[in-house]
Homo-oligomer: A and B are copies of this chain.
Amino acid sequence: MAIGRPSPSSSQTPDPGAARRSSRARGIPEATVARLPLYLRALTALSERSVPTVSSEELAAAAGVNSAKLRKDFSYLGSYGTRGVGYDVEYLVYQISRELGLTQDWPVVIVGIGNLGHALANYGGFASRGFRVAALLDADPNVVGSTAAGLPVRHMDELEEIVATQHVSIGVITTPPGAAQQVCDRLVEAGVTSILNFAPTVLTVPDGVDVRKVDLSIELQILAFHEQRKAGDEPSAGDSVLDRAPGPVRAAAAKLRRAAGGKAEPAKAAPTAKGGPDDDLSAVMPA
C-alpha cells in the first residue's frame, strides 16, 4: 500500500488513491470492497431463509444497488455464478467472507468508553462477523473499573500489553477529539495497523496504517446541503452579484473585506464563539 508516498501521510477515508492502490494490487477495486459487506448482509439474510440461489437482479435489489454493478463486482472475485440460474447463496457467503477476511478472528480494542464506546461495546454485529472485543479502554479513573457489555473497562496503560498478547491489529477510537491523535499514536506504537476513528479529527499516521473515519457531523451537514437544495435554494445571504463575479470585481471585494478588519459579514451564523464544535471536550461522542 501507499505506493509513491514520501512522508507519513494521513490516509483518511476520503483519500481514494492510497486505499485504492493497495486493494487493486490484486485487482479488487476499492468501490467494490466497500460494497461486499452489503452483499454479504443480504446474502446472510437469504441464507437464514434457506434460499438456495439468487439472481443478480434479486440480490441487487436486496442490497440496494443495480444488478450490472453487482455482477461486475462479483466478476472481480471470480466466476461464482451459473448462467441461467444465478448465484449459490451459501457458496457466495463463504467466498465473500473469505475475501473480506472474516473467516478469521479479529480482536479489536475500543478506546474511550463514553456514550458511543458503550454503544459499540454492546453492538451485536461485532461478534457475528469475526470481530471480537479484546478490551475496553479509558483514561478516566472514574470510568475504569466499571463494566460495559459485560466487559471490564481497563486503563489505557494496559493498552500495550493487551495489543501485544492478544495480537490486536484493529483499534476503534471513541474519545473526545482532543485526545484522538494521542491515542492514535499510542495504538500505532503498540502495533495496531488499522484504525476506525469516530472522533472529528484528522489523524496522522505512518505509512502502512489504515484509517477510516465515521463522522456524524459531516453526514448531517451533507444532508443539510441537499435539504437546502430541495427548498427554494438560493443560499439566502448577502450573495448578490459579487460572490460569483469574475476577476477584478471580486479582487476588489476581497481587498475590501480585509480592509474592513477581519470579520467579514457580521453574519448571524458562522460559529466563531468558543466552546464550540470540535474542541468541545464534553462531547464524548464525536461522530
Q: B226 to A36, Cβ gap below 8 A?
A: no
Q: A129 to B277, Cβ gap below 8 A?
A: yes
Task: Provide 17 A-B residue pairs closer than 8 Å at the C-beta atoms, listed in order of the A residue.
Answer: A3-B57, A14-B65, A22-B226, A23-B229, A36-B225, A44-B272, A88-B264, A90-B270, A102-B224, A108-B220, A115-B118, A116-B119, A123-B286, A123-B287, A126-B217, A129-B220, A212-B219
Query: How many copies of this chain?
Result: 2
CB distance from A243 to the nearest CB of B (A): 5
Q: A284 to B220, Cβ gap below 8 A?
A: no
Complex: how many Å from CA A196 to CA B215?
Answer: 12
The interface of chain A, by Cβ under 8 A from chain B, is 1-5, 10, 12, 14-15, 19, 22-23, 25-26, 33-38, 40-42, 44-48, 52, 57-58, 61-65, 78-82, 88, 90-91, 93-95, 97-104, 106, 108, 114-116, 118-120, 122-126, 128-131, 169-170, 193-196, 200, 202, 208, 210, 212, 214-230, 233, 235-237, 239, 243-244, 246, 250-251, 254-255, 257-258, 262-265, 267-272, 274, 276-280, 282-287
Q: B45 to A278, Cβ gap below 8 A?
A: yes
